[in-house]
Every structure is written in structure tokens, then in C-alpha cells.
């Protein structure tokens, strides 16, 4: 993947840094692996807005991605494709029996490469193995948290985790956030880094590109009236006041830690904010 800049033919074009999509090898998706995707506009089953700033956007179809990687045998990468529902690229693979699946595309793979699953396969980019069978120092992504459930962590563009140690049925993994976490050694992970490394360097350039993604405008709390937001009101520009910033409903915002899961605290050796 690469990035491209435009001549400043308009104010929106001036600051745009966009994807050049040169790593894409196929334009149309595999029809058998598509599913309908219905927009909810941030509303729940009662029609109430439960997530603000959602709505509109371009119509999408969901790509059914194999996060489990539980099918044994060699699979050939047929194409690298764009997925509108995630930041990473996806790869269409075909197994020896003709089965086709989408996987999260690792960085560096291309058409014709072979990927496999199982504890006996080589430790090479794109292969899936259990964490306990990987040497320390191995870079991985698409990591399971529960055996057989499928990858739940490290799936975004350019992310990568590292296997640090093995101890008593658990594997210590350093996550992209810096958190050190124990995971069961029989959880699967894919070797390598997630594709589309330059995603973090893109700049939308204009509000319209945000709207195409289904994101509606947000308004600063300090620009609202006092009955609409805790930061609102006052003559001219006023400070936040009160101890710390708040959400529109008066709850602490911006940095307030919200993790409350004592059941899994014992698996976290180092928090991401302890770096």
C-alpha cells in the first residue's frame, strides 16, 4: 500500500492524503462470501439513539471473514481485496478442496502465496498456529481470547503483537497498546503483521469523506446551551469548570478508566497505561 497527495485544486483536496490502493489485486468481491449489512443510524431496537454521530454513509455489503482459521490444509491466496468494513485488507484464499474463504490479509503476502493452519506448519507470515507452539519473539495478529471462538484481538491495519513467554498452560503476549496479557496457550494466532500499514497516515481532508463513512457531525459541549451540556452556557468563551470534563449526561469523560472486570484482572500483568 502507498499514499497519494493531490494538487490543491480545492480546499478539501489541499490537505487530503489518500490511499492509492496499489496493493489491491481484485476489484469485485467473491459473491458467495457476501452478506447484507443493514444500517441502524446509531439506534437500538426501540428506535432510540444510543450511539451519537452515526447515520448516512455509502451502502456496504458485509464480507464474511474467517477469523477462526480452523480449516487444515494448504490454501492459496487468490487476491488481496478492499473491505469497507475494516481498516485492514482481506485476502481471498482457496483450499485444495475448492473451498474459498476470506482472511485478514497479513502484511507482505501476495497472490499465489500459500498459507496453512496447524501446530506443525512453518512459522511463516500468514500461517495460523496455537500460541503455545510459537517461539518467543514471534510477531502475531488475529489472536483468540477463547479457544475456538476466532480471533478477537489485533485485527486493525498495521497492528502486531509479540509472543513474550510460555508458562503453565498460558502464553504471555505483548499487545499493540503495550499491555502484557496472559492467554491460554491453545488459543490460535496468525503469524505476521496486519496489512495496510499506512492507514494511520491518511488524512480525510474534508468533512464529506467522514459523511461517506457514516459519521455525522459532532458539536462541542462548550458551544451548547447550559441545559444541553454540562460545559455549555456562560458569557463568551468559558472554561469547563467543575472537576474535569463531562459527557452530556454528567459522567466523567476524557481519560476516565471504565474497565470493571475483576474476573480477568489476574491475566493482565502490565496495564497499557503503566508503560
40-78 residue pLDDT tens? 999 999 999 999 999 999 999 999 999 999 999 999 999
Q: Give the mean model confidence (pLDDT) for residues 210-234.
A: 95
Residue with grid cell 498460558, as numbered in its chain: 170
Per-residue pLDDT at 241 = 84
Sorted by where each starts, the structural domains of the chain and their CATH numbers stand as: 24-46+59-195+262-274 (2.30.30.30)
User: 104 and 190 in contact (C-beta within 8 Å)?
Assistant: yes
- What would the pLDDT profile of 133-145 be if each residue is shown by its tens digit? 999 999 999 999 9
Higher-scoring residue by pLDDT: 201, 242: 201
Q: Residues 2-31: what's their mean pLDDT?
A: 94
Mean pLDDT of 178-186: 96
Q: Is the dihedral of CA 127, 131, 134, 139 positive or negative?
A: positive
**67, 86, 136, 159 from 140: Cα distances, Å:** 14, 18, 11, 9
**Does the pLDDT value for residue 274 go beyond 90?**
no
Average pLDDT over residues 21-38: 95
Which residues, at least 6 apart from 203, have a Cβ–Cβ distance to it below 8 Å? 15, 16, 17
Question: Looking at residue 243, what is its pLDDT?
Answer: 87
C-alpha torsion angle, residues 189, 195, 198, 201 (rounded to 10): -50
The three cell numbers of residue 143 are 489472536
On average, the pLDDT of the chain sits at 95
Single out the residue of 105, 131, 136 nearest to residue 119, CA to CA: 131
Q: Which band of pLDDT confidence, cut at 50, 70 and 90, is reported for residue 242?
A: confident
Which pLDDT does position 275 carry in this prediction?
63
Amino acid at each position: 500500500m502507498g499514499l497519494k497527495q493531490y494538487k490543491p485544486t480545492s480546499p478539501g483536496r489541499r490537505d487530503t492524503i489518500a490511499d492509492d490502493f496499489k496493493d489491491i489485486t481484485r476489484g469485485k468481491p467473491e459473491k458467495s462470501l457476501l452478506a447484507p449489512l443493514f444500517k441502524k443510524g446509531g439506534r437500538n431496537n426501540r428506535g432510540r439513539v444510543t450511539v451519537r454521530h452515526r447515520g448516512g454513509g455509502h451502502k456496504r455489503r458485509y464480507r464474511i471473514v474467517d477469523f477462526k482459521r480452523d480449516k487444515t490444509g494448504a490454501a492459496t491466496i487468490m487476491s488481496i481485496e478492499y473491505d469497507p468494513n475494516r481498516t485492514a485488507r482481506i485476502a481471498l484464499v482457496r483450499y485444495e478442496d475448492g473451498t474459498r474463504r476470506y482472511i485478514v490479509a497479513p502484511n507482505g503476502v501476495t497472490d499465489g502465496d500459500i498459507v496453512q493452519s496447524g501446530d506443525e506448519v512453518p512459522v511463516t507470515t500468514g500461517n495460523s498456529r496455537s500460541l503455545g507452539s510459537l517461539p518467543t519473539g514471534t510477531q502475531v495478529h488475529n489472536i483468540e481470547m477463547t479457544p475456538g471462538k476466532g480471533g478477537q484481538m489485533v485485527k486493525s491495519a498495521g497492528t502486531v503483537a509479540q509472543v513474550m513467554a510460555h508458562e503453565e498452560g498460558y502464553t504471555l503476549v505483548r499487545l499493540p497498546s503495550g499491555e502484557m496479557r496472559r492467554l491460554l496457550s491453545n488459543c490460535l494466532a496468525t503469524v505476521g503483521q496486519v496489512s495496510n500499514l499506512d492507514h494511520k497516515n491518511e488524512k480525510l481532508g474534508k468533512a464529506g469523506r467522514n459523511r461517506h463513512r457514516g459519521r455525522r457531525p459532532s458539536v462541542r459541549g462548550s458551544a451548547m446551551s447550559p441545559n444541553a451540556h454540562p460545559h455549555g452556557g456562560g458569557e463568551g468563551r468559558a472554561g469547563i469548570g467543575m472537576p474535569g470534563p463531562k459527557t452530556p449526561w454528567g459522567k466523567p469523560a476524557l481519560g476516565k478508566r471504565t474497565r470493571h472486570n475483576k474476573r480477568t484482572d489476574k491475566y493482565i500483568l502490565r496495564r497499557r497505561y503503566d508503560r
